[in-house]
Structure 1
Amino acid sequence: MSKVGFTYKILAPFLIFFLLSRVAFGMQTNQDSIASVIRHCQEAKLNIATQNFDKAIDNLTEANFLVSNINNNQLKGGVLQTFVFLYYAVKNYEKADSENIKAITLFQKNDDKLSLAKAYTMQGLILTQTGRFNQAEGYFNDADELFTQLNDEQTQSNVLIGLGVLELKRGNPKRAVNYFDAGIPLYDNFHLTYQEAYAQLNKADALLQLENEVGYQNIVLAKQAYKKALAIIDTNSYASLKIESYNTAYQIAKKDNNLKEAQENLIIYTTKKDSIFKEYIKTSSRALDIESNLGDLNQIIEEQKNDLDKKKKSLNFGKMTNGLSIALIVILSLLTLSLYKNNNLRAKANELLQDKNNELQLAKEKAEKASLAKAQFLSTITHELRTPLYAVTGLTHLLMEENPKEYQKEHLNSLKFSGEYLLSLINNILDLNKLEANKVEVEKTTFNLKKRINDVLIALKKSADDKKTKLHLEFDDSVPDRLVGDPLKLSQILINLIGNSVKFTQNGDVYVRVKKLDLSKNKVMLHFEVEDNGVGISKKKQKSIFETFSQGSLQINRKFGGTGLGLSIVKNLLELMNSKIQLESDLGKGSKFWFNINFLVSDNSVEVDTAADRGLEVDLESLVNKKVLVVEDNKINQMITKKILEKNKMVCMVADNGMEAVKLVKNNKYDVVLMDIHMPGISGIEATQKIRAFDTTLPIIALTAVTIDENLDDFYQAGFNEIIPKPFKPEEFFEKIYKVIHFKLEPGDSN
């Protein structure tokens, strides 16, 4: 072996180690520089928020110098964006605009959607300040769309502030308040203290502009927003917001006719504004000088690099060719070995991944089976509970009709209350089960919204009186009289929300508010609020309050009762109607639930006449001697239904099953048939279909404990004229019998 070959054999490992060490050192240096750039940008943003502009400029100078040596466009865009924040903070909107456009172009080239969405939001704010409102709105909408794609609710919340400021500048304080109200809970939830303070301060300004339209209440709300903003500003030393807070304090004092306080705040605001304006000019000038110097420095660095490259090219690297060749061969060998091992590891990882996928598939199937089993169990248990509950409520009604003694009445009333409470619980479980199983559909009928809400308030008045709580309705008169939607589901939502507020409010007030947000030719968006001044909900529980069986605490459950199903039903119903329930609450101060929902505006001046609205007056005398066939396999239920009917002097016969009912109808004349559904042999639906084969006019009412699998439309299609869910209230029971006998309803008419 030659000396040269031997020398290379000895030196090759050292050469490889040297080359790899240099690469590793270069990579570590690069990582350190990236970390330094990020740190300087974060410190710059903090210094901008506290108006420490000199330090912010120092941070940005260092960050810009470091990033010039790093081939990372995303990082360069981040530094550029921080410069934009500085220019925006010192009100140099022209420079902020030009630099932000550069950042947008950079992010678009790199397809960096998150940074692009942030830059769009910033551009919307800049354009808002320069009065280009339509362009600003376009950028905010583009940002909102990107954030929605990225599912980034935290950063997306900044768009709400932008839209709020935009509407405030446009002279639409109502819309501005809605945007700020939508954003504030998010800023609080994500601990975005600067955004929350800024939103509260702007909300106060918007509310003060609304004062002449609505009244003194908005001054109170403005004061509340101002106090919240001030607490955050003082805690975090947000100097720029502190100056703006003096202007808000001046406006509030002026509205309160407190001229002395107004003048004091105005003097402070004007003085600090003048001082800070000089600081803005100085900072803006220095920032431009630094940027110019950095540009010169970057040019010098680039020239030096080019000069160095030329010198390197002129050197003779021939002596190192053999050594580098050996090093390259060794490196390639190592790479080959590494690829071999990597392939083995990848194969094992693929096997492990396949095993995990199989496990996840099994877990998914188990979860689906468990969900189906839960639904079937709840459906079965609610159905089975209705049968004995029918006996409890029915016997209670019969006993109360038999002139009980006073002390017996008290016990019977307690029994009646307990039965109705249990029935309400069962109905809630059934409703929730149907919603979760997607068994509920949204109807579309014409209705009068104000009448609907008044009906709900009348129904809840007794509960409110018991709590010594007043119910208030604030209804926007510009809401159209006739809307098209699902009034029953809307009533259910409002009953649950208002009932919940009444339950947790003692000696207080519950406000129900309906406002028109937007109206097009045939569509209107309405804002619903239910606000109380009761016990309130803690911030922690607000995150889970809409979950099934969730309540504020065990103590609240013991004190106020309930199962925690009502709000879960509200959440599911609103999602079914393409809306979302929102909550604002403070412990000890009360809660506000609100949601926005779209309705069609009806051209029809006549409201659809539903059973709920008719309030039918039943002439019980006209039912005397009417012949009724009760088809029921449960002996206790037979006895109760028979006695309730005979109490009202109706002639009653009983069939134990469906086949017997068909034979009796063939051989006898009845005025109405009350048909149970779940019976041995043929079901009530099959029995009705057989009867309809030879008698299409006989009124038949389904008397059933409805389950999740039963679609009410199927009953009407089978030939039933009406449906009475068990257990029933006697007045509703006789009302439906009266209707089918005297109004000759066709199957499905009452639906």
Structure 2
Amino acid sequence: MRFFVLIILLYLSPIPIGAQESTALNDSIESITQRVYEYKNEGSFEKSLLEIEKGLQIAASIDDAEAIIDFYNLYARLNIQYNKPINSEIYLKEAREVLNLYKYNNGRALTAILEGYIQAKKNKREDAYKRIDEALKTIDYNDKSVLNLVLFNQALIYFELKDYDKAKVILQKMIPPDHKYEKEYLLASSQLVLARIYAKENNYESANILLDNVLRVAARHKFPRILYGTNTLRYEIANAKEDYYAALLYYKKADSILQKYFNPEIIRKQNEAAYANEAKFLNNVIARMSQDELEQQQKVNISKLTSVLSSALLIIISLLTISLYRNNQIKFKTNDLLLKKNKELQIAKEEAERAMKAKGQFLSTVSHELRTPLYAVTGLTHLLLEEDPKDSQKEHLKSLKFSGEYLLDFINDILQINKIDANKLTAERTLFDLHKTLEDVTFSLSQTAKENKNSIILDMDKNTPIKLIGDPLKLSQILINLVGNALKFTENGKVILLTKLISASDDHYKIHFEVNDDGIGISEEMQKNIFESFSQGSIQINRQYGGTGLGLTIVKSLLSLFDSDIYVKSELGMGSSFYFDLEFQAPDPSEIEEEKTEELEEASLSNLHLLVVEDNKINQVITKKMLAKKGISSDVADNGYEAIKLAKENNYDLILMDIHMPGISGLKATEEIRKFNKTIPIIALTALTLDESTDDFFSSGCNDIITKPFKPDSFYKIIGASILRTGSHA
């Protein structure tokens, strides 16, 4: 009887599910799914459960089998992610029941891979591998969201089974992952698992680099479980390296996250919600089974009345046919609408990709075009300084040299600031003199200070160490921006750059930096957005003092590379104070000795004979003169073809190869030279663009790279190191 009642009700309704109503329900499933992922990843376990239950009810009401399977899989993923003590397999079993009735390859692939992870947790290797095979055979490889989920869980299975090499290969290939709802969470999770593998291999440097990326993503998007896992792993690494001070800091950070998001009371509430949900789910399953049994009994009873109701059934079938026809018409219209919307979305996506590509090409071109004249500026400045200028000229030349080098670093960081979100920008680790770095900063801005009748005071705490391992270029850019800002907004005053040692251990120093001025000050309202891009506080300030408003944004971005932040204290008319703390590594005594012997290494450069491959006439003159300063003779090739010819006819100790030239590129010329000369050192002398990879240089046969414009000391050092490595100089 129930069957006939349903058919009659279906006929009596004008439209079973209208196009507008269907779209609203589908939109509701979409928004619910998005909220499930948000709550799941931000630590709201109970909210995720409620949203999944709501989504299941809507999916069942419109008979959306794929959505039902997706929500069953989400039940399982949620409980696996939060390590809940209930049996996640019951949800996957229900997903299998629906999959037996509907063909849904992506749903089957995700169900199989989650079952494989559960088997791996039980150390059932063979069963886990069978599930991996099933998932990879059924998945639609064009659906990047499901593909990345399957790959990530496949890597987790290998990790649980201690097949670390297999897990590492998958994680390295899938980074950065793509996903409709949790791209950033998958990125942080996959890099965290990869960092754990590196830590198990005692590759702590690679692990820490990844953990820096994970920390930025997790902190930006507030992923408490990722933050906890990151600090816990950092604690383990610091402990293994016997850096107990750092280990204690990371342990405290991990413990604070644990107490905030995963304390016993929260875990108790989550477990209660999980058990209640499991009980409700099982009750629904039992009720459904009872209903199915009742329906089967009703069907038996109905079959006894078939002969009596056959005529009525024929009429009802006719009515049903009409209703189905009307439904099909609605579906055709809905499909046409969906196809149109999908086409519009595809066009919008392609336009966005073209815009991003154009932006990248623009930045790449600007970078290369700026570096070429900068090479002339820095090179000529160096040569002028070497030619014994007047004392009155030396100050200007030194300031010009430092400003040129700073401008190069500024261009690099402007281009790379977009890479911070992609986790590609990293801090360098080189030995440097802190006192010299700070003096260079103040010296380069001395002329600016004079223009506003200001003075710059360098106040270094006597306990501050001089020799450190860190990134002096990025530190210089940070301080130049801060001191430059202070000078710009101060007149007839003073700007103080001070440092103070906060703490010291055997291998690390923590130093406090502060820039104080007695300028116009910053209002409390302006302080809220002063670190945003292109922010100057007000239009009037922008017009009066000028500037792009990027300085403090770059400072904040650069400090994030060192796990540090910038702070400000200020009042209108009372001046401003910008301050931050940085950690540096203490150098070994052997590294300091090595720095002192650099001049000895440079002495070995005399009497070398080099080939300079360069199409720019000014660059040819500068490079030849810089080589001649060290007693090095050289020939010049204007293009790649001439370089190949000269390399065949002459014996050179080393080749400096420009990359971007008319005719054939420097990389192609290098490949041709390597066909008849395998041993001569070849150094790529190039202005790197965004599109270039250093791997391309080495694979073509280059031994090293010098980036234009370069510092002369670095230029000579790389040449000397290449000669010593190959032993090509008799």
TM-score (norm 2): 0.48
TM-score (norm 1): 0.47
| Higher-Rg member (1/2) | 1
